[in-house]
Amino acid sequence: MEEPRYLLDNAQPEAAERFDALSELFNPATFATFERLGVGPGTSVWEVGAGGPSVARWLAERTGGSVLATDLDTRWLDHDASYAVLEHDIATDPPPRGGFDVVHARLVLVHVADRAKAISTMVEALNPGGWLFLEEADPGLQPLACPDGEGEAEVLANRLKAGFRALMAERGVDLAFGRTLPRLLRQAGLTDVCAQGAFPLGGPSCDALERATTLQIRQQLLEAGLATEEEIAAHLANVDRGTMDLCTSPMISAWGRHPGLG
């Protein structure tokens, strides 16, 4: 049987809008953690499943260019930029040659069937004393599009979010994956493990992410009978009015250090 297609395909035109919204919402916390881990001039970084270019660009400026950005689909990355680009499947491919001081993946592992193998590949790529920094959403911690669910628009938004969660679960996505990251890092043999969460609520970037995501999953919602054309159109109109306090699933960030210090 053919495996269900990835819901949020990089080939879709809305992918760029989604990348931009995610960058606005989560890059500040991501960059603050990079700084906490000592990323600076000369630090070598592997950005796994980069998607869009914003994180790789920042890392290239911060490190002086010693950055490799990889993805299955690299169309949105800057192929003539100050960072290197490589097509790579973290689910099946060996790690790139050379070692890295920091390996980072955001919203990647939840879509990989053999997550333990993918984490092992990233750990293998670390230099002694290097950091593995993982970030994943946890829809199970907060499953609603609108936590303040008063009003017809909010009820509809929450129903469509439930449909989105159903589609993800059907494709093998673990809706409680984010909270497991600290444990998985310890199981991989890493030390000094820490974690934190980010939970944006309201504002233009949350609206933009909701619009792009809805457009990307529109056909799957229709085919599964989880929404009608009229409901999707009404929801998009509600989003465009900017009167709902839309939110994201909590993003869990966790990091751990390779125990070997040379």
In the prediction, which pLDDT does 235 show?
97
Q: Could you tell me the residue range of the domain that residue 110 belongs to? A: 15-257
Determine the Cα–Cα distance for residues 123 and 83; give it in Å rounded to an integer.
Answer: 21
How many structural domains is the chain composed of? 1
**Does residue 47 fall inside a structural domain?**
yes
**Does residue 187 fall inside a structural domain?**
yes
In the prediction, which pLDDT does 79 show?
82
**Does residue 63 fall inside a structural domain?**
yes
Closest CA to 256 of 202, 201, 186: 186
Determine the Cα–Cα distance for residues 50 and 58; give it in Å rounded to an integer.
Answer: 12
**Does residue 2 fall inside a structural domain?**
no
Task: With beta carbons less than 8 A apart as the criterion, state whether 28 and 200 touch.
Answer: no
Residue 15, CB-side half-sphere exposure with 13 Å CA sphere: 17
**Does residue 24 fall inside a structural domain?**
yes
**Does residue 204 fall inside a structural domain?**
yes
Report the 10 Å Cβ neighbour count for 57: 18
Residue 2 has pLDDT above 80, yes or no: no
User: What is the overall mean pLDDT for the chain?
Assistant: 91
- pLDDT tens digits along 53-84: 999 999 999 999 899 999 998 988 988 789 99
- pLDDT tens digits along 184-222: 999 999 999 999 999 899 999 999 999 999 999 999 999
- pLDDT tens digits along 112-169: 888 999 999 999 999 999 999 999 999 999 999 999 888 999 999 999 999 999 998 8
Residue entry with tokens 């469509």: 160
**Does residue 3 fall inside a structural domain?**
no
**Does residue 10 fall inside a structural domain?**
no
Secondary-structure breakdown of the chain: helix, strand, coil percentages, each rounded to the nearest 5: 40, 20, 40
Task: With beta carbons less than 8 A apart as the criterion, state whether 258 and 127 touch.
Answer: yes
Closest CA to 91 of 6, 7, 26, 180: 6
Q: What is the CATH number of the domain that holds 151?
A: 3.40.50.150
